[in-house]
Amino acid sequence: MIYLDNNSTTQLDPRVLEVMMPFLTSEFGNAASSHTFGRRINNHVKSARENIAALLQCDPGEVVFTSGATEAVNLGLKGVAKNYRSKGNHIITANTEHPAVLDTCKSLEADGYDITYLPVDRDGLIDLMELKAAIKEATILICVMYVNNETGVIQPISDIADTAHEHGALFMCDATQAIGRIPINVYSLGIDLLAFSAHKFYGPKGIGGLFIQHKQPKVKMSPILHGGGHEHGLRSGTLNVPGIVGMAMAAQLAMNEMQRDADHVTMLRTYLEESLLKEENAFLNGSYDHRLYNTANLGFKGIDANVVIGRLQGIALSNGSACTSAIMEPSHVLKAMGLSNEDAYSSIRFSLGRFNSLMDIETTISTIKPLLVNAF
């Protein structure tokens, strides 16, 4: 299998699995237990929290463990919305966000909140002037993702955060595609809340977290899960210790190998992209300059991307978000960027990762080119 769907999920790094194994076997204690066994497990959780905080360059006490980014997004949006309702009920986001954000915002709309969905330009970027114009006195939160999962487009996070703070609003960022791939300092970027998931940076599935700013200003939250008061009372439930330990190891590897991964993957993507864009009627979706180094969303006018993907044997590709791939509709991200239904249906996402090789890319190019001729 040649796996080029790393924005959907990544392969678990064998070194991550190795550190997880004791906590799936002999070290099975509950981190909340008061006996010696439980306290020993809790010490591992504390150490893991420090590793993850180091990746975000934040205080360990500002990291709340969740089951993944989707839960973290729900906790962030709903937790802020509920706690700041007396200040206002207006939230701003972008119409190219992940369904975890968009669906949660729709849920909040049904509860009486006012949501503004910002448009994007042909490159997939929001307009800062349009953002400023959308802010109201009742605006409590602006939520914009760091890196788009379909196109790899990187939003101007620091500028968005500054705009939010200038108007007394909080800034939340879904950094699921960014964490572990590019350096993040939540303080210098001005991020108040940040959602992430381990399985996007070679960690296990079922574990993620939410950074919640405790300083200047301290973000006040209301929980969405109750029962036990775990994670500072914000996320009740027995901690997923194997997952937490695995995510911490993935974070440590990311810090140590981020530049090496970036150099390797950039080389592979450049080769793939330059080769395929030579094809007749091929085009790039998203900003060429403002995007993550591992993602190439390419369109091939006149072809049906689902036909191409279905005919590939042993090569895993995607035509959009894995969370909506079962729905036979054009990508909401590409449509928001101005693509026609036909062009959106003709687009394929290539997302590369740490374990891809030059041979993978060469094989993919030689396999996919003949398919582009008859994929209608």
Question: Residue 251 contacts by C-beta under 8 Å, 6 or more apart in sequence?
Answer: 51, 52, 54, 55, 180, 201, 203
The Cα 265–Cα 364 span in angstroms is: 15
Residue 182 contacts residue 320 (beta carbons within 8 Å): no
Is position 323 annotated as part of the catalytic site? yes
Question: Residue 192 contacts by C-beta under 8 Å, 6 or more apart in sequence?
Answer: 161, 164, 170, 171, 172, 212, 213, 217, 219
Q: Which of 105, 143, 173, 323 is catalytic?
A: 323
Report the run of H or E that residue 298 belongs to, with start and end.
strand 295-300
The Cα 355–Cα 341 span in angstroms is: 33
Tell me the β-bridge partners of 196: 209
Residue 69 contacts residue 100 (beta carbons within 8 Å): yes
Residue 368 contacts residue 314 (beta carbons within 8 Å): no
The Cα 164–Cα 126 span in angstroms is: 14
Neighbours of 133 (CB within 10 A): 10
Whole-angstrom CA distances from 6 to 2, 150, 297 are: 11, 11, 13
**Token reading at 93:** 């986001």
Positions marked active-site: 323
